[in-house]
Structure 1
Amino acid sequence: MNKIWNIYLSGEIHSDWRERIAAGIKEAELPVSLSAPVTVHADSDDCGVAIFGAEDNKYWHDHKGAMLNAVRTGTLLREADIAIIRFGEKYKQWNAAFDAGYCAALGTPYITLHPEEHDHALKEVDAAASAMARTPEQVVQALGYIINGTLPR
């Protein structure tokens, strides 16, 4: 198969999970193109005011950025063959939950990635997912199976 799979990496930005998945994909030589939201927190938060001008009201500051980020995220999710949606340990990723719902509405398969302690809180998100992983390495193994039909060595 000559297909290049578009995989969108959604969710928390405070750990190395994206890098671990990218390294695993490279090592497994999977035909994958990765995309993601802007992961520099300040850039993501401040893009709207950096481009369209400052706001005195924090709501409008955030709203300007959220609108631009929604264009990026929505476009990349619509183009994705699969989304990986990470819920980390430290912060609540409301945006990741939104992305999971967006994928469900679009019919885009997604794999959740989160620790066991989030199982109850994410039960509906996981129920709509195609799979649920605990580690980035499990995500890579799942992609290997989905793309090549091969089990881990």
Structure 2
Amino acid sequence: MTLTVYLSGEIHTDWRDQIIAGAADLDVSFDSPVTDHAASDDCGVAIMGAEADKFWHDRKGAQLNAIRTRKGIEMADVVVVRFGDQYKQWNAAFDAGYAAALGKSLVVLHGPDHAHALKEVDAAALAVVQEPAQVVQILRYVLTGKLPQ
């Protein structure tokens, strides 16, 4: 069995790298949004032209990024959404809702401080964890049936 995993959410820590490295021996392929913050913010105006109003600048970027995000979530077997501590990731919450609406297997990753704020998102998930290593353990179990040692 091969799994396609979409890694959505915060882009300020190395959580994606930790999961990818930990799953290197598993039959898993990974996809994610563009994680270069400047490129993600400015892609719309860089490709489709400048905007004087920040609202339209951001909207162009969001819509262009949505092409990649929607396709990645739609193609995924498992969607992992990470909520970081530093920023409010409204986009991550949207991605989790989209994945849930599509019936995707959803794993939510966040610290204990977000438990109350994300209770509805957590309720839609098949697993809620606090560490990237736990995501790797989930993938290993799903693919091999083996528990962590």
State the TM-score, normalized to the length of structure 2.
0.98
Question: Tell me, what secondary structure is at the counterpart of 1:6?
Answer: strand
| 1:144 to 2:135 alignment | no
One-letter amino acid of the structure 1 residue matched with residue 34 of structure 2: V
* Distance in 1 (alpha carbons) for counterparts of 2:17 and 2:131: 12
Aligned to 1:9: 7
Structure 1 stretches of 4+ moved >6 Å: none
| 1:97 to 2:117 alignment | no
| 1:68 to 2:64 alignment | yes
Aligned to 1:119: 115
Q: Provide the alpha-carbon RMSD of the alignment.
A: 0.6
One-letter amino acid of the structure 1 residue matched with residue 39 of structure 2: D
Aligned to 2:82: 86
State the TM-score, normalized to the length of structure 1.
0.96
Question: Tell me, what secondary structure is at the counterpart of 2:6?
Answer: strand
Aligned to 1:50: 46
Question: Tell me, what secondary structure is at the counterpart of 2:122?
Answer: helix
Aligned residues with identical type, % of pairs: 60
Question: Tell me, what secondary structure is at the counterpart of 2:59?
Answer: helix
One-letter amino acid of the structure 1 residue matched with residue 46 of structure 2: A
Question: Tell me, what secondary structure is at the counterpart of 1:91?
Answer: coil
Residue 4 of structure 1 and its aligned partner are, at CA, apart by 2.3
Aligned to 2:104: 108
One-letter amino acid of the structure 1 residue matched with residue 14 of structure 2: D
Which 5+ residue runs of structure 1 have no aligned equivalent? none
One-letter amino acid of the structure 1 residue matched with residue 94 of structure 2: F
* Distance in 1 (alpha carbons) for counterparts of 2:127 and 2:148: 16
* Distance in 2 (alpha carbons) for counterparts of 1:69 and 1:57: 19
Residue 149 of structure 1 and its aligned partner are, at CA, apart by 1.0
Residue 147 of structure 1 and its aligned partner are, at CA, apart by 1.3
